[in-house]
Structure 1
Amino acid sequence: MFDLAGHVALVTGAGQNMGAGAARALAAQGAVVAVNDLSLERAEATCEEIEAAGGTAIAVAFDVLDADAVRAAVARVRAEAGRPIDILMNNAGIHPDMGAVPFRQLDPARWRGPIDLNIYGSLYCVHAVLEDMCAAGWGRIVQISSGAGRTGLNIGVAVYGAGKSGIEGFIRHLSQEVAPHGVTANSLALGLMNNSARGDAAVTAHLAASVPAKRLGTPEDVGAAVVFLASPEASWLTGQTINLNGGATTN
């Protein structure tokens, strides 16, 4: 079950944290995984972890906001893997300009970064792999979103939330276009995540206490959900946004 042997996955922002966890999980199920990051060093570190566990990985460092670089990387992965990418996880989404600032205090010069990364970055990656998926009659697109895209929060992330809301809407429309071609498209809206083992224990405990499951999400939690959505068994699940948040919201 959930066997991904014979498939090729591209995971963006996979040099650390949740993207790295998903890349490891996909590789453990047999997929060849193209590990993207802005930093080649980080991408290679994730590849080393995958290969040490017996998997196959390709490091591809590029900026998802560079459409030409995205297309070149997709072509390179196709050539090295011997077959096209048929699983895409759009994970890159934290822009340096995201900040945590109330909107009325946020300089307009900082608006575009989070919007462009979360919308255009994902659009470029989807566009680069979609034709091959439709031609093959099989494909999986997993878009990482956030609770901030679904619920209003008073923590200074309004523009980031707007970007996530926008890309969720795109995924819903895309799912309808590509469903007849055997391609699914879904979003995972993540809740509070433990993104660093070096985090302040007191802060982590405080955040975890607010989650019904009484813990923060982990890379392994994300990886398990992505493996399911990428699997043959999930062929009838498309156009959905799934909350992965320990019960923090249940809508």
Structure 2
Amino acid sequence: MPAVAGRVAFVTGGASGLGQATCLALAAAGAHVVAADVNSDGAATTVEQVTAAGGSAAARVFDVTDADHRVAAMAELFAAHGEAFDILVNVAGIDRPGYLVDVDEAAYAQVFAVNCHGPVFLMKEFLNGYLGVRTGDREAEIFNVLSISAVTVGSGAVAYNSSKAAFTKATEIFQTEVRDFSHPCRIQGIMPAAMDTPMMEQWQIPAERMMDPADVAAEILHALQRPSTVLGQNLIFTPRPENFPR
């Protein structure tokens, strides 16, 4: 099974919630993690937690919707780490509630920019960069945090649900392309249910009805360590029924 030790991972949304939990999980397994986020203080806090636990990490101010940020980050990391930089985890996401009678166009566009468009073009920069430095036979890993909201319907969540559905479809298309063109890259995704993260505070869901981000991060780590013969797949990940009171 491929290990993550000694590899470099770029985690968007690394300042809090699932992004922070993913950074901690990957670092505990021996990866050097780059906690990338628009929230510089939160990213720095993630790095402090990683290093306090004996791991290796760096913080980077990063806006996934900014093309210049995407190009610069990938170029700099490949220049610094070469083919050791071979893990990209797209976690960053936002939610802006809106109903049919009052949905805001700018907010809707922002959600799509963060949840779908930005990650799609970050994947492009990452794969092209990896193809440019790869000398061995190891595959790069792209892991996308999707959402069960991509396949469910939630009132007031047209922007979030639609963006996650679009990103899920983009992920499926890219999974097909890397196989069709024999790119040295595996793409996987996960569709978690509601997690106890800062993004969910606006919905006022009781904490006992939400998942622990650390559990989802553990599944991401497990997926990255699957044998290379396991092709990219998208997992629906929800609590056990007995742990999900109704």
TM-score band w.r.t. shorter chain: 0.7 to 0.9
When structure 1 is superposed on structure 2, of 227-236 and 45-54 the one drifting more is 227-236
Shift of 1:144: 0.8
CA–CA distance in structure 2, aligned partners of residues 85 and 70 of structure 1: 15
Q: Name the TM-score, length of structure 1 as normaliser.
A: 0.84
Shift of 1:150: 0.9
Q: Which residue of 2 aligns with 1:246?
A: 239
Instruction: Identify which of 183, 191, 194 aligns with 1:192.
Output: 194
Q: Which structure 1 residue ranges, 5 or more long, are not aligned? A: 209-215
Is the partner of 2:146 in helix, strand or coil? strand
User: Are the equivalent residues in 2 in contact too, given 1:142–1:186 (CA < 8 A)?
Assistant: yes
CA gap 1:25/1:246 in 2 versus in 1, 3 angstroms = same
Shift of 1:140: 1.0
Q: Which residue of 2 aligns with 1:219?
A: 213
User: Are the equivalent residues in 1 in contact too, given 2:88–2:143 (CA < 8 A)?
Assistant: yes
CA–CA distance in structure 1, aligned partners of residues 114 and 131 of structure 2: 25
Shift of 1:105: 2.0
When structure 1 is superposed on structure 2, of 42-51 and 68-77 the one drifting more is 68-77
Q: Residues 75-95 of structure 1: CA distance to partner in whole angstroms, max 9, x if unpaired?
A: 22234445452111111111x
Q: Name the TM-score, length of structure 2 as normaliser.
A: 0.85
Shift of 1:40: 1.6
Is the partner of 1:242 in helix, strand or coil? strand
When structure 1 is superposed on structure 2, of 33-42 and 73-82 the one drifting more is 73-82
Is the partner of 1:73 in helix, strand or coil? helix
User: Are the equivalent residues in 2 in contact too, given 1:14–1:23 (CA < 8 A)?
Assistant: yes
CA gap 1:99/1:57 in 2 versus in 1, 3 angstroms = same
Question: Matches of residues 141-160 of structure 1 in structure 2 within 5 Å?
Answer: 141-154=142-155, 156-160=156-160
Amino acid at match of 2:143: V
Amino acid at match of 2:108: W
Q: Which residue of 1 aligns with 2:230?
A: 236
Question: Matches of residues 150-189 of structure 1 in structure 2 within 5 Å?
Answer: 150-154=151-155, 156-179=156-179, 180-189=182-191
Amino acid at match of 1:242: L
Is the partner of 1:25 in helix, strand or coil? helix
Is the partner of 2:196 in helix, strand or coil? coil
Identity between Structure 1 and Structure 2 (%): 28
CA–CA distance in structure 2, aligned partners of residues 39 and 51 of structure 1: 19
CA gap 1:48/1:81 in 2 versus in 1, 3 angstroms = farther
CA–CA distance in structure 1, aligned partners of residues 158 and 229 of structure 2: 34
CA gap 1:115/1:37 in 2 versus in 1, 3 angstroms = same
Q: Which residue of 2 aligns with 1:109?
A: 106
CA gap 1:106/1:131 in 2 versus in 1, 3 angstroms = same
Q: Which residue of 2 aligns with 1:213?
A: none
CA gap 1:233/1:112 in 2 versus in 1, 3 angstroms = same
Report how many residues are paired. Answer: 233
Q: Residues 96-142 of structure 1: CA distance to partner in whole angstroms, max 9, x if unpaired?
A: xx332222321333321111211111012111110244453511111
Q: Residues 197-246 of structure 1: CA distance to partner in whole angstroms, max 9, x if unpaired?
A: xx79x9525x62xxxxxxx21121121111122225254131x2211121
